Amino acid sequence: MTAIPSKADLRTAALAKREALSDEQRAAAAQAMARRGLPFAILPGVVVSGYSPIRSEIDPAPLMRKLAEQGARLALPAVLSRGKSLAFRVWSPDDRLMLGPLGIPEPSPAAQELVPDIMLVPLAAFDRQGHRIGYGAGHYDYTLAHLRKAKAITAVGIAFAVQEIKAIPALPHDVALDYVLTEKKMFDFRS
């Protein structure tokens, strides 16, 4: 009988595949993802939150620029404290960012806060049921659960195709994604 791999083991394996991609593969994937775009209309003024890529995450900036051209207002997350919802602050591609408490670039605390309509969610791994593995802090699960009490938010996981894994053991507090967008495919989990 084989043991079911833990989330930590699955995360480590998926991140190793992501780390193995070259800078050229990463840049080409980010451009391919931007060309594909999102599978639904971007209405003028819709708020789309992205993220500042850390480690070897796919860069959502090309996609965010395209969404801004389609009329979206852009925001980036700011970490306020552990166990609290992320805040989302207005951002445009020319804005200077500052390092937040976790060393992640984020907009100035003076930037206007917005509640996103669409969240582009970074991840370590995903499966075809819309489950994701993050980095273990639970920021996105908590934020989505908290913000969805007030309004509908579409959660779009952003990843390289190599980050797909067969199955993720989902826990009750895990929040499933509505979509995952990779450089090769769009997965729709809403049904």
- Condensed to tens digits (0 to 9), the pLDDT of residues 127-182 reads 999 999 988 778 888 899 999 999 999 999 999 999 999 999 887 777 889 999 99
- List, for residues 54-72, the tens digit of each pLDDT value: 889 999 999 999 999 999 9
Whether residue 79 is predicted with pLDDT greater than 70 in this model: the reply is yes
pLDDT at 2: 62
Residue 144 lies in a domain: yes
Confidence of residue 1 (pLDDT cuts 50, 70, 90): low
The reply to whether 182 falls in a domain is yes
Closest CA to 168 of 176, 160, 157: 176
Work out the number of other CB atoms within 10 angstroms of the CB of residue 47.
17
Confidence band of 4 (pLDDT split at 50, 70, 90)? confident
Contacts of 87 (CB under 8 A, 6+ apart): 77, 78, 80, 113
Distance CA 20, CA 44 (A): 38
Specify the number of domains making up the chain. 1
Range of the domain at 116: 7-37+46-188
- For residue 113, the cross-strand partners are 89
With bands split at pLDDT 50, 70 and 90, how would you rate the model's confidence at 101? confident
Go through 90-102 and write b for each residue having 16 or more CB atoms within 10 A of its CB, e for each that does not: bbeeeeeeeebee
H helices present in 96-151, as ranges: 139-147
The answer to whether position 2 is within a domain reads: no
Question: What's the confidence (pLDDT) of residue 124?
Answer: 93
At position 43, the amino acid (one-letter code) is L
Note whether residue 1 is domain-resident: no
Is the pLDDT at 81 greater than 80? The verdict is: no
| CB-based contact 62:68 (threshold 8 Å) | no
Q: Is the pLDDT of residue 82 over 80?
A: no
Q: Answer whether residue 20 is part of any domain.
A: yes
CATH at 110: 3.40.50.10420
pLDDT band at 83 (very low <50, low <70, confident <90, very high): low
- Kindly state whether residue 70 falls inside one of the protein's structural domains: yes
- 53 falls within a domain: yes
Tell me what pLDDT residue 67 has: 96
Give the pLDDT confidence of 17-49 residue by residue, as tens digits.
Answer: 999 999 999 999 999 999 999 999 999 999 999
Q: Strand pairing of 179-181 and 154-158?
A: parallel
Is 59 among the domain residues? yes
pTM (two decimals)? 0.92
